Amino acid sequence: MGWILDILYLLGLLAASPALLVKSLRTGKYRSDWPGRLGRINKQARMAPAGSAPSPPRRLLIHCVSVGELLSTRRLVEELLGLNAALIIFISTTTDTGVQRAQAMYGGDANGRVRTVRYPLDFSFAVRRFLKDIQPDQIVLVELETWPNFICAAARRSIPIRIINGRMTARSFRRYRLVRPIMAAMFRRIEHFGVQTPTIAARFAALGAPADRIEVIPTLKYDTADFSDAVPGAAELAAAVGIMREHSLLVGGSTGPGEQEALLECYLALRRKQPTLRLAIAPRKPEVIPRVIADIKRAGLAPLRRSEHPDGCVPPAGGMGMDAVLVLDTMGELKKLYSLATMVFSGRSLVKLGGSDMIEAAAMGKPCCFGPHTYNFDQIVQLLLANDSAVAVKNTVELTRQVESWLANPREAVDMGRRASACLAAQRGATKRYARQLIERLRE
């Protein structure tokens, strides 16, 4: 079976190579770390920690596709390390941004207790080499990242596989049904499925996951959300770019291509009536930043790039002006920006990209709105809307109307944010449940 898949993968890569080449030239993707993509692990990462016990320490592999999944496991990693002093955790990610963020989070310490590696392409030789180098005692797949050769290779080595924070959108479910026999064969090799909602549990079962192995556990993201009022570094960001106390800051968070146009139209419609209103845009993908800047200039406004105004620099004279639009073009600072926000638009939702995670902003007590395309976050959206803790908007007109309403009724906006924070806080607890389960399985 493995060699058949290898041939199919190779043919697929050859067919897609022109498009991949163009994307690589335009964005810089797919150029780096080919040894890692083919399953080769740095020799130092395979070594036991200095001063470790004579018996081999247990090894846990946690796979996160990209940044979102990676951030959701931060508290889980801390909990696991606290429960088992001899545990080594390998964090694997697929994307370049995921690899970079994982190294930033865990210090790039290849010989420590948390080691970051790249998840290989699903060629049989690559996954065999990958598993041989890491030698995990248990594999954890975050949300849903199942590849046939990888699952089969782990099963041959009798490595138990678990899915945590399991998620499957209606759109993904329809696609997976087309290859149900393949999904069912993989799911039979997975010993436990921790999924976020009963609806998702039903989708897993319909694709062949044994019902007695499925458990509904709320998303880990409720536990990793920051419910505090202040975020370290937020004051420095505000000072550097000129955000002042009297400003009412609208933040477009993790926006998708074209959504800056809706935010700019909203801002232009309201800024004269609301002279304290300011706009900040944080694109989800770095490669769209040039287009965002071009659209800001086309609207007759001035882009204010965070990268050009680092902490400690001389702020704009008189603060951030009405003609300025802040562009967050740095990594790891969206939480700071959310803490400064008066209201938040959660991006990738006016365009058909499935939405962006609104938990972080809502947990901080910020009134949030989002467009109609939020299938990646159905559970969270339903929870917030059911508790009158967020607003869904269909288009630019409704976005503008909602922002204007919040500006006119600041007390109502604050109350909505508080309700959002409270209803998310009530969902916490998944981290400890997963940590206990994983440690108990390692002991077995």
Say which CATH number the domain at 193 has. Answer: 3.40.50.11720
Q: Read off the pLDDT of each residue in 182-203 and give the average, rounded to a whole number.
A: 96
Q: Read off the pLDDT of each residue in 65-84 and give the average, rounded to a whole number.
A: 92
> Using 50, 70 and 90 to split pLDDT, how confident is the model at 379?
confident
What's the whole-model pTM score?
Answer: 0.82
| Residue 224: inside a domain | no
Q: Say yes or no: 205 and 164 in one domain.
A: yes
**Total structural domains within the chain:** 2
| Residue 161: inside a domain | yes
Q: What is the pLDDT of residue 427?
A: 94
Question: pLDDT (tens digit, 9 = 90+) per residue, 306-353?
Answer: 999 999 998 888 899 999 999 999 988 999 999 999 999 999 999 999
Helix (H) or strand (E) holding 62: strand 59-63
Report the distance separating Cα 298 and Cα 306, nearest Å. 19
Q: Is 255 left (phi over 0), alpha (psi -120 to 50) or beta?
A: beta
Q: What is the pLDDT of residue 47?
A: 62
Q: Say yes or no: 191 and 317 in one domain.
A: no
Q: Say yes or no: 125 and 74 in one domain.
A: yes
SS3 219: coil
pLDDT higher for 25 or 293?
Answer: 293
Q: Read off the pLDDT of each residue in 428-437 and give the average, rounded to a whole number.
A: 96
| Residue 9: inside a domain | no
| Residue 266: inside a domain | yes
Residue span of the structural domain in which 114 resides = 42-218+429-443
Q: Say yes or no: 241 and 201 in one domain.
A: no
> Using 50, 70 and 90 to split pLDDT, how confident is the model at 108?
low
Distances (CA, A) of 378 to 9, 166, 256, 372: 32, 13, 18, 11
